[in-house]
Amino acid sequence: MKRQNQPAASVLRKLPSVDTLLKEPQLESYIARIGRNAVVNSVREAVEEVRKLLGAEPPPEMDEKAIYQKVIDAAGGQLEAIIKPYYRKAINATGIILHTGLGRAVLATQALKQIQEELSGYSLLQLDAETGERSRRDERIEWLLQQLTAAEAATVVNNNAAATAIVLNTAAKGREVIVSRGQLVEIGGSFRLPEVMAFSGAKLVEVGTTNKTHPHDYVNAITENTAAIMRVHPSNYRVVGFSSEVPLEELVQIAHSRGLVVIDDVGSGALMDFSRFGFEPEPTLLESISKGADIVTSSADKLIGSSQGGIILGKANLVNAIRKNQFFRIVRVGKLTLAALEATLKLFLDEATALREVPTLQMLMRSLDELTSEAERLASAINKNVQNAAAGTTPGFSQTGSGSLPTQNLATMLVAIQPEKISAESLARRLRQYNPPIFTRIQNDQVLIDPRTLREGDGEVVAAALIKIISPKN
């Protein structure tokens, strides 16, 4: 057995005991805040962390006082991390509007207000206020989606992957579903349509090629075991050039003439025609219903701008069958999601109100002139108050993110910060470690800030963070 070297053993003997550390006022104060067990565990972990550090590379000179303080600092850092909310505010300076890592859609003020004011105690969820009898928790959401899309019926589950899976399980378990090869998508988190299809119990039948699928491809694939034709909107890519796909209305004609169901996964869930604002055409829920799709699924937290959810709407007999599916309870949503979705959908009853009040739409519609003015103000503030860094503006592009409006870059004006004494990577890391965390982009050894995704007051916080990190001018 290899003996521990003498210098390391000498240093390790200076480590304080857990009991001694627990009497330290700096750590003792945490016991009243989070309980003794959490503090004891954190102190033990801190002692072990410092033990490993000293054992691996014992410093030439480190007295007992310095080691003691190192353990105290390590334990304090762990305890502060416990106290501080993990799911907390962050500043998105990346220009990605629907940033999955940063919570995707920013909720509308009305949604936050409804959650705070109506859900602070008991709340009406699944009881009829007139009869006192049990009711459906999705009734209000169904009514709103009926108004907005003209669908016969609607419900909501916890995300669009769940919506796709339960629709397939209900309408086509043990039977075939025909899908174009060009629509066999994989999106974030390794969500693959063929695997979801297999999980649902339906059998995938691929037709056509990656870039071209024709009506006869669908017709020739139909057998006595076919249950449905499915169209999947490619949320995060586009096939361009020598390509074609069968329009939805033609798929409906092919399917309905043979007694099959048409399932349309439109992905982002647009409730308005974005092409009017200069974007590429994006399928809307209303359009899909009007063209005859039997069941339509989408996200609730992309172009609708609500909390995470999966919308299912279409023919009443199919939606009711989905509600009776044994898996429906597994994927149902709770009161927080329902309240946020109700408040958000209500804004879409008047399109002008939605454009004004839904943060996702606000950010999509911000003009280049407005973004340029904001970028110039922020760059000027940085140059005025921060030394050892230079800030300027440069043209760039924002993105919708989360597979919404794919390949459609949004012109913006970026703030480019060039630190002099630290690297751009180091500055970006320190900004992420700031409170609140600030997320940026890095390009050409510069930290880039996109004002498109800065909320009110965020610019001032970013400037203050840079002053603190890089140091103020005298």
Q: Are residues 351 and 448 in the same domain?
A: no
User: 398 φ, ψ to 5°?
Assistant: -100, 170
Q: Are residues 352 and 258 in the same domain?
A: yes
Q: Are residues 200 and 53 in the same domain?
A: no
Are the CB atoms for 373 and 201 separated by under 8 Å?
no
pLDDT at 341: 97
Beta strand 310-314 with 186-187: parallel, antiparallel or unpaired? unpaired
Nearest CA among 406, 225, 431 for reference residue 303:
406
Query: Which residue is associated with the tokens 């992905």?
Result: 267
Q: Are residues 320 and 386 in the same domain?
A: no
Range of the domain at 442: 91-100+365-470
Nearest CA among 456, 423, 455 for reference residue 442:
423
Q: Are residues 73 and 203 in the same domain?
A: no
Examine residue 1 and state whether it is found in any structural domain, yes or no: no
- Single-letter residue type at 201: G
Kindly report, residue by residue over 329-348, the tens digit of the pLDDT: 999 999 999 999 999 999 99
Confidence of residue 243 (pLDDT cuts 50, 70, 90): low
Ramachandran category for residue 69: left, alpha or beta (phi over 0 → left; psi -120 to 50 → alpha): alpha
Structure tokens at 445: 């050894």
User: What strands lie across the sheet with 441-443, from one edge to the other?
Assistant: 389-398, 410-419, 446-449, 441-443
Kindly report, residue by residue over 314-330, the tens digit of the pLDDT: 999 999 999 999 999 99
Percentage of residues in the chain with pLDDT exceeding 90?
65
Q: Are residues 239 and 383 in the same domain?
A: no
Cα 332 vs. chain centroid, distance in angstroms? 19
Examine residue 240 and state whether it is found in any structural domain, yes or no: yes
Q: Are residues 204 and 307 in the same domain?
A: yes
Q: Are residues 157 and 198 in the same domain?
A: yes
Determine the 3-state secondary structure of 177 from DSSP. Answer: strand
pLDDT at 2: 47
pLDDT greater than 60 at residue 350: yes
Task: Compute the C-alpha angle 164/167/172, nearest 5°.
Answer: 115
